[in-house]
A and B are shown apart, each in its own frame.
Chain A
């Protein structure tokens, strides 16, 4: 017999109404504007865009407000929204060497063209809470200085010549880059598909995996060759125009990790590389991504696969926090029928177990009686 259970409509309606009330909070406190979120919680907006895999600061700000600041819920909202839009095409690859740089540091080369530019960083702050920020004190205007005109080539270009550092990654010629939003990933993946998954992957998950390689689970001896943050131009080829159409600029963070490598049967000793590219100002994520990218190249470089961070299927299958939260959180939805069935099964197994135990307890007596 199957009994359909209905109900909860009124409860759901009222729960959503309550949610809207709690989201707004105390009415005597002014409501947040999306401009405030975009301007003053900019790095939260960046994270939602990166893991939502959709560059649109206004929508990310709306998602953060709607989700009451729950980042994964906001990311979920953005992912759901993107499925409602048509795809106009694929951009030309961005050129990070032409970036309007806002920050650029290298941990490997002190004196490189363009120099070490700190930009708006938390580094070297003392991590002391600032009571002044509880009010509305106006900060000083930023210092300005005549910019140097020495350009800022990527660190990888500066070093390529000696051959001691491997080149940028090249896949087989003429192949269209993988697109995991169109074709579900099948293992083993190409590096292009892995990078796409990592770029939208959960920052916390990738950070933990990157950290695990530093602690010895798949150690790969990393140095930050370069981290750069800034705006890059987007261009799109369209059939109606005979030139690549400029669409405007987006902010990205790029990390070039350089890894010491003792060589293997396949590859001579050299520095190998891991790459990170993420929407917005997301240095931690870009660094974690490049550590994971390098760890996942174990097979290509002939290394033993001994640690979780080197296991492609493990990393990529669990890096997407929208998938992860969907599967974990669905457990709280009604499973009444499944659980009833399981309960019946466990009751039966328990009674069989009791019967067997009874039988075992009776056996020695019978043995005695037989003697």
Chain B
């Protein structure tokens, strides 16, 4: 059960890192003072992921195109292995993200990673989404009925 919870949180960190604007991530990483010590095990390398939709929205899957994806894996001197995957071709973003994934597995660093990197990114992403939702909501049609004739 605890392992599932760990996976869920690690997955959430992956989601934040994948969605992170590359420049902001690089800046937070630089300013965090966290050790940049991961040795690259794989990549950073760019490849394709075939994207699937579902017929009618919820039916059988079908392939409808591809996207560029960049991934990296690193190993810390203390042995933790970190991975990263994100849409696009930003190799530095993948390398930094893999380091962050490795560091957050170390109890000594988990809190700093959360406070200095994942927290600010999460807030930024949430603000962007909320802003967008609010702008879109203003274009929702409010129907009203015209009363015609007598009575």
Contact = CB atoms under 8 A, between A and B. Distances in A.
A89 B143 contact: no
B48 interface: yes
A96 B52 contact: no
Nearest to B141: A116
Given A85-B48, A96-B53, A90 B63 contact: yes
Given A87-B47, A248-B87, A93 B61 contact: yes
A303 B54 CA distance: 24
A250 B51 contact: yes
Interface string A110-153: 11000111111000000000000000000000111111100000
A89 B50 contact: yes
B67 A250 contact: yes
B67 A55 contact: yes
Contacts of B55: 168-171, 191-192, 195, 275
A147 B136 contact: yes
Interface in B1-51: 7-8, 10-11, 14-15, 18-19, 45-51
B64 A277 contact: yes
Interface stretch (A2-10, A26-34, A97-105, A304-312): A97-105
B141 A118 contact: yes
Contacts of B58: 97, 154, 156-157, 168
B83 A53 contact: no
Interface residues of A, number: 84
B85 A90 contact: no
Contacts of B116: none
B136 A58 contact: no
B136 A82 contact: no
Nearest to A256: B57
A88 B64 contact: no
Contact of A240 (B51, B53, B83, B133): B83
A192 B14 CA distance: 30
B64 A199 contact: yes
B62 A273 contact: no
A111 B145 CA distance: 13
A249 B83 contact: no
A142 B137 CA distance: 11
Interface string A239-263: 0111111111110101010000000
B57 to A, nearest CB: 5
Secondary structure dominating the interface of A: mixed
A145 B137 contact: yes
B60 interface: yes
Given A54-B68, A115-B141, A118-B139, A248 B88 contact: yes
A54 B136 contact: no
Contact of B59 (A94, A143, A167, A178): A167
Interface string B94-133: 0000000000000000000000000000000000010111
A192 B18 contact: no
A196 B62 contact: yes
Contacts of B59: 167-171
Contacts of A54: 48, 65-68
Interface in A27-75: 49-50, 53-56, 58-59
A115 to B, nearest CB: 5
Interface string A310-339: 000000000000000000000000000000
A234 interface: yes
Contacts of B52: 90-94, 177
A200 interface: yes
Q: Which among B14, B60, B133 has the greatest number of chain A C-beta atoms within 10 A?
A: B60
12 contacts: A49-B65, A50-B65, A54-B68, A55-B65, A91-B50, A91-B51, A96-B57, A146-B134, A169-B56, A195-B55, A248-B87, A279-B65
Interface of A: 49-50, 53-56, 58-59, 82, 85-94, 96-97, 100-103, 110-111, 115-120, 142-148, 154, 156-157, 167-171, 175, 177-181, 191-193, 195-196, 199-200, 233-234, 236, 238, 240-250, 252, 254, 256, 273, 275, 277-279
